[in-house]
Amino acid sequence: MDLLSYQSIPAILRENAVKFGDKTAISFKKNGVYTSLTYAQFYERVLLLARGLGKVGVQRGDKVAVFSENRLGWAISDFGIQSAGAITVPIYATNTGKQAAYVINHSEAKVVFVSTKAQYEKLLSVRDTIPNVELIVSYERYIGDRTFPAFTQNQLSEIEAPLTAEERNRIEQQIDAIRHDDIITIIYTSGTTGVPKGVILTQGNFLCDCDYGMRQLGGLGSNETFLSFLPLSHVLERTAGYYAALLSGNHIAFAEDAKKVMENMVEIRPTAMVSVPRLFEKIHSRILDSVHQSSPFKRNLFHYALKIGGEYVRTKYIDKKPVGLLGLQYRFFDRLVFSKVRNRFGGRLRFFISGGAPLDKTINEFMWILGMPVFQGYGLTETSPAVTLCSIDDIRFDSVGKPLHKVELKLAADGELMIKGPMVMQGYYKNEEATKETFEDGWLKTGDIATIDADGFVYIIDRKKELIVTAGGKNIAPQPIENDLRLDKYISQAIVFGDRRPYLVAILTPDIERLLDFAKEKKIQYLDFDELVNNDKVKQLFSARVEAINKQYPPYKTIKHFALVARDFSIEGGELTPTLKLKRKEILKKYADIVEELYTKNESVLVFHPKSTHGEEQ
């Protein structure tokens, strides 16, 4: 399908409602069981909501906020808002009331959709600070506060009252009026580097990104099942796992939440998924842990299969040479070993798309060997998001791929990647100064340091602002070191510091299951997890693990001291963004005393109880 021959996303949905009428469009968990809507049913629900929005005064160009996790209501709201000629303003479900209020006020949204009573109560707590909100619409049935009433989405849609011919015609005329340069959304950045900025994206931005992205992958049929778990409030999932899927007639199933993704994979048996590197790190860790606990024979068999698999994928996809006998060996081990591994994740996965942060080369190659290839890409909220993407014909395990169609790239003198292309944003909403700072002679400055090889593959080194310059003048990218630390089976998360300091230090969090197994094996007695991480044997274990990783680096890149935190980094704790990226400034602020102690204490290891910090939970 040539997406660019259409003027808008709702226009394509209208056609798909006819073309794929009885085909499943969206599945969602209700009362513990997955249920579905067909394309025809989904489109009808969208039109009903667009009718309701019109009745409450939503007009073309108005902003409507959506404060919700991924679910059917989110999708109906988004398409209904567009069909009413309005603009969707997503708010991360993990945001506080205060954070949500900033987005609502800055975007001038007068209507807000909320998913649950908990989200409603966040807004109720800041009611006095959002005076322009006229209507709250809930996906679930409950009675709001009398001073701040809430209606259900079904009530607003008048779901029991079918559309009249006149109403349908009026709404579809609104859809016909939408053009490529009309704004579809304002997406607010996480604000980890300052005040959140509202990124203005158009129908054309998304249509180009979906079309060129699918073209890079060699086309996308209409028989895929996507499992969606990254927040739709984030542009990666919204484009690659939601718009691209629905516009090409595929099936989307919403995961219950990020913690149940593995369970939902077995239930839904997806063929495709969009993810950030953290999921692949967990898959890698879980599989190797299972292998470690198996019999010596099975353990040796798996590692030999990995060896053959590594030779196979490098020969076929990197060197592009005939595989010959190696192909027969791989098929044998695929049937004997890898197919059984894939069955643990539903058994039908054909590919993943990865973004948000660079994926470790070892883990990427591991996924390809298993027969669950990961196509890594790169982009920003400001670019809708993808500007580069790997494919089955063009893959480097440590690269984010080659530029999409009509994308121009260049490197500034300091290595910063700069972009031109039809998916680049219009600018930041009500922030001309920030918009001007982000562009230079028409080129978008990404803030990422990159290299581009002779074959056109792009490699992201690190965020420009996150590069560490030590007191000795050494420039160090922390992400590759952090990736190596996270590859260790006992380490869950890692963050490296050292800017303007004499050496590098790190804060680590343990892999809880493996540390508990270690404690059992070593017969360590402890009352709680806090006591366990302070045990001398645990200190010695992590010292040895860090020292082993240090050996692959020159002295100035080694970790001299580290702290072990008894609690994993989390969104709720304020250390991770909703897409699971490290919030470096927040972590440094939260653990400032501990980091300072790592530079003043003579001991090579400091293991601490989190309650000793002065930082508050975010």
- pLDDT-derived band at 446, boundaries 50, 70, 90: very high
- Residue range 228-260, pLDDT digits in tens: 999 999 999 999 999 999 999 999 999 998 889
Query: Rounded CA gap, 53 and 384, in Å?
Result: 26
194 pLDDT higher than 70: no
Mean per-residue pLDDT over the chain, rounded: 93
211 pLDDT higher than 50: yes
Close Cβ partners of 438 (under 8 Å, ≥ 6 residues apart) = 382, 428, 444, 445
Instruction: Supply 569's token pair.
Output: 């980094």
Which pLDDT value is given to residue 141?
85
614 pLDDT higher than 70: no
Q: Which whole number is the average pLDDT over 178-199? A: 88
The percentage of residues in the chain with a pLDDT greater than 90, rounded to a whole number, is 86
142 pLDDT higher than 90: no
Instruction: Supply 594's token pair.
Output: 């501990």
Give the count of beta carbons closer than 10 Å to the beta carbon of residue 4. 14
- In angstroms, what CA-CA distances link 232 with 35, 43, 72, 118, 349? 20, 19, 11, 19, 21
- The residue type found at 179 is R
Give the phi and the psi of residue 312 in degrees, each rounded to 5: -65, -50
- C-alpha torsion sign, points 312, 318, 324, 328: positive
Close Cβ partners of 150 (under 8 Å, ≥ 6 residues apart) = 114, 120, 136, 137, 138, 142, 143, 144
- Residue range 66-75, pLDDT digits in tens: 999 999 999 9
Q: Which whole number is the average pLDDT over 149-178? A: 96
Q: Which domains, ranges and CATH numbers included, belong to the chain?
A: 3-188+220-271 (3.40.50.12780), 275-347+349-465 (3.40.50.12780), 467-612 (3.30.300.30)
- The end-to-end CA distance of the chain, in Å, is 45
Query: Rounded CA gap, 291 and 589, in Å?
Result: 39
Query: Rounded CA gap, 352 and 528, in Å?
Result: 38
Which pLDDT value is given to residue 607?
65
- In angstroms, what CA-CA distances link 421 with 2, 206, 375, 443? 18, 12, 21, 9
- Least-confidence region, from 121-125, 145-149, 321-325, 392-396: 145-149
Give the phi and the psi of residue 213 in degrees, each rounded to 5: -65, -45
611 pLDDT higher than 50: no
Under DSSP, the state recorded for 450 is E
- Residue range 291-342, pLDDT digits in tens: 988 999 999 999 999 999 999 999 999 999 999 999 999 999 999 999 999 9
Q: Which whole number is the average pLDDT over 532-542? A: 92
- Residue range 5-60, pLDDT digits in tens: 999 999 999 999 999 999 999 999 988 999 999 999 999 999 999 999 999 999 99
Query: Rounded CA gap, 146 and 335, in Å?
Result: 62
CA-based angle 157:10:101, to the nearest 5? Answer: 60
- pLDDT-derived band at 181, boundaries 50, 70, 90: very high
3-state helix, strand, coil in the chain (%, to 5): 45, 20, 35
Q: Which whole number is the average pLDDT over 567-596? A: 90
Give the phi and the psi of residue 389 in degrees, each rounded to 5: -165, 140
Q: Which whole number is the average pLDDT over 409-416? A: 97
Let me know if 303 is exposed, middle or buried by CB neighbors in 10 A (0-12, 13-18, 19+): exposed
Which pLDDT value is given to residue 615?
35
- Residue range 351-384, pLDDT digits in tens: 999 998 889 999 999 999 999 999 999 999 999 9
604 pLDDT higher than 60: no
- Least-confidence region, from 120-129, 186-195, 415-424, 481-490: 186-195
DSSP string, 296-323: HHHHHHHHHHHHHHHHHHIIIIIS----
Which pLDDT value is given to residue 128?
95
Which pLDDT value is given to residue 193?
55
